[in-house]
Amino acid sequence: MDINIKDNNLRVLITGGAGFIGSHLTKQILDHTNSLVFNLDKLSYASDLTLIKSCEKYKNHNLIKANIADYSNCMNAIKLSDPDIIFHLAAETHVDRSIDDAKLFIESNIVGTFNILEIAKNHWLKLNKTRKQNFRFIHISTDEVFGSLGEIGSFNEKTSYDPRSPYSASKASSDHLANAWFHTYNFPVIKTNCSNNFGPFQFPEKLIPLVIQKCITKETIPIYGDGKNIRDWLFVEDHVNALLLIAKKGKVGQSYCIGAKNELTNYEIVSNICEIFDKKYPSNLSCKNLIKFVEDRPGHDKRYSIDPQKLMENLNWEPLFSFQKALEFTVDWYIHNQNWIKRIENKNFYKGERLGLNKKDSF
């Protein structure tokens, strides 16, 4: 897999490279190229290097423990990595935690994005003609910046922004900054907005791994409100493949929406996981009996849906994994990697509760 426009020997900086999506992206690059990867990550509660350390070319991985909210940290990271391409993934991402304390999200997602954009721009201006022409800054964002949909329609690259939570507002701000740096400075930014990701190595507070763990431990599975809120699900490997394709063939200044057209209500996704688990481990008590509807979160968006037509038609991308097979694979992975789960939980003193909203028992 060649992620560069012309050659395979890149200096790649990934911010948030020890996070869920970042670690899968880092592994892909290490496994399939000879690039040097510089991983700028503050190693927060959701960070983990297990997947990256499994790479045969791990010697090409350089960890820079730093916080993008600190300008000097970013300056040192850019100087050390001397990048040809930057994948900007570092962000605070959990909606509930943003409702409890928005300050961290402002610092990381807005100030941090400004820091990395401004320092990367100054780095880019000093590159020689060839490196400058080939340089790319891939800004990775979320569909939550578009707000909430009704029963019909999907988000696309022309959808107006309408964020509803401190998290999505901070990500929308970062998107606008990235767009401004392209238009004002001609800085070679490409922006992406993806739907909900899932897969192995995701921190167990997130919906899919949390439900799997509740099935294993036979604990209550809480669902917000009436369970009819709809999300569009994307397997993490398909997301990473899209990012690499966009880095290689995407047009500077453009935005690309990444989704796999897998819309399910929260109740449907939870029920699906329960059915998979019951089939693997049949017992007198179905996991569906563990489901409990709980008080809804404030400002809970009703429906997300991504239209990836531009990405599919212009860059010939398509998801490689069917949703059902990817979900079954993910359930299997969590069942058979309980040591990893326990280590992550113990490291973060996490006991399966919701993080944010005063840690009430729901997600």
Q: Are strands 136-142 and 291-294 parallel, antiparallel or unpaired?
A: unpaired
Residue 28 phi/psi, 5° resolution? -60, -45
Question: Which of 150, 142, 163 is CA-nearest to residue 303?
Answer: 150
Structure tokens of 164? 């509803």
Question: Which of 111, 11, 9 is CA-nearest to residue 68?
Answer: 111
Structure tokens of 148? 């909430």
Active site residue 278: no
Cβ within 8 Å of residue 155, ≥6 positions away: 143, 146, 149, 193, 257, 304, 305, 306, 307
Active site residue 143: yes
The catalytically annotated residue of 167, 224, 256, 334 is 167
The catalytically annotated residue of 48, 96, 143, 263 is 143
CA distance to 3, 144, 220, per residue, from 245 (Å): 7, 23, 41
Cβ within 8 Å of residue 156, ≥6 positions away: 257, 306, 307, 309, 310
The catalytically annotated residue of 92, 96, 144, 237 is 144
Structure tokens of 121? 């721009």
Cβ within 8 Å of residue 23, ≥6 positions away: 17, 48, 49, 51, 52, 201
Structure tokens of 111? 């100030």
Active site residue 45: no
Asked whether 114 and 137 are in contact (CB, 8 A), the reply is no
293 bridge partner residues? 223
Catalytic residue IDs: 143-144, 167
